[in-house]
Amino acid sequence: MKQPLVSIILTSYNFESYIGQSISSLLNQSINTTIEFIIVDDSSKDRSPSIIKDFASHHENITFIHHPINKGASYSINEAFALARGKYLCRFDGDDSWDVDFLKKMVAILEEHTEVGLAYCNCSYINLNGEITNRDVPTRRKTTSIIAHEFNDLLTDYYITAPT
């Protein structure tokens, strides 16, 4: 695979009910570019690993790592980021889902504004029945730049919504 523009890191632990929809929402992005997917399953006890393995067998741009022993979320995230080769990195969990144009819009903003190093946006919450319960949940802050006090605030009050 040629050098990807975007690397998407997906971590999973016991997301059998959601993982297929999550991966599909990534694969169905409308952006026309090279994307690599690095999916780490951290020793799920459900069918998550077999679902992920099936997707990986049909998509050469998916790298699947399965931990036979649980190593924790931080380890899994760091392991995936170490393998990422894209210009842009996205963090994603096995129960997240993106609108079909999400990545196209985010990459366009980052490409147009090269001085920007981080982009995030509002999100919606979906309950266990797949119903949107809280649409367009705003971030707790709006900022156009990260300066020293913003960086310190980010360390203590993580206000970037997932999965941006």
pLDDT tens digits for range 128-137: 777 777 666 5
User: What's the pLDDT band for 156 if we cut at 50, 70, 90?
Assistant: confident
Contact 86, 5 (CB under 8 A): yes
> Across residues 145-155, what is the average pLDDT?
63
Q: Cα(59)–Cα(37) distance, rounded to whole angstroms?
A: 9
Q: Give the type of residue at 101.
A: D
What angle in degrees, to the nearest 10, is found between the helix axes of 19-27 and 48-58? 20
Is position 133 within any domain?
A: no
Residue 163 in this model has a pLDDT that exceeds 90: no
Whether residue 53 lies inside any domain: the answer is yes
110's enclosing H/E stretch is: helix 102-112
The reply to whether 59 falls in a domain is yes
Closest CA relative to residue 25, chosen from 103, 90, 122: 103
Q: Is residue 121 part of a domain?
A: no
For the chain, what is the domain count? 1
Lowest mean pLDDT among 22-36, 61-75, 83-97, 128-142: 128-142
How large a percentage of the chain has pLDDT more than 70?
82
Residue 60 belongs to some domain of the structure = yes
Full residue range of the structural domain in which residue 30 is found: 6-99
Give the confidence band of 89 by pLDDT, cuts at 50, 70, 90.
very high
CA–CA separation, 119 vs 83, rounded Å?
21
Whole-prediction pTM: 0.85
Within a domain: residue 112? Answer: no
Q: What does the alpha-carbon distance between residue 96 and residue 25 come to, in Å, rounded to a whole number?
A: 9
Would you state the structure tokens that stand for residue 81, as one six-digit string?
């980021």
Q: What is the mean pLDDT of residues 96-104?
A: 92
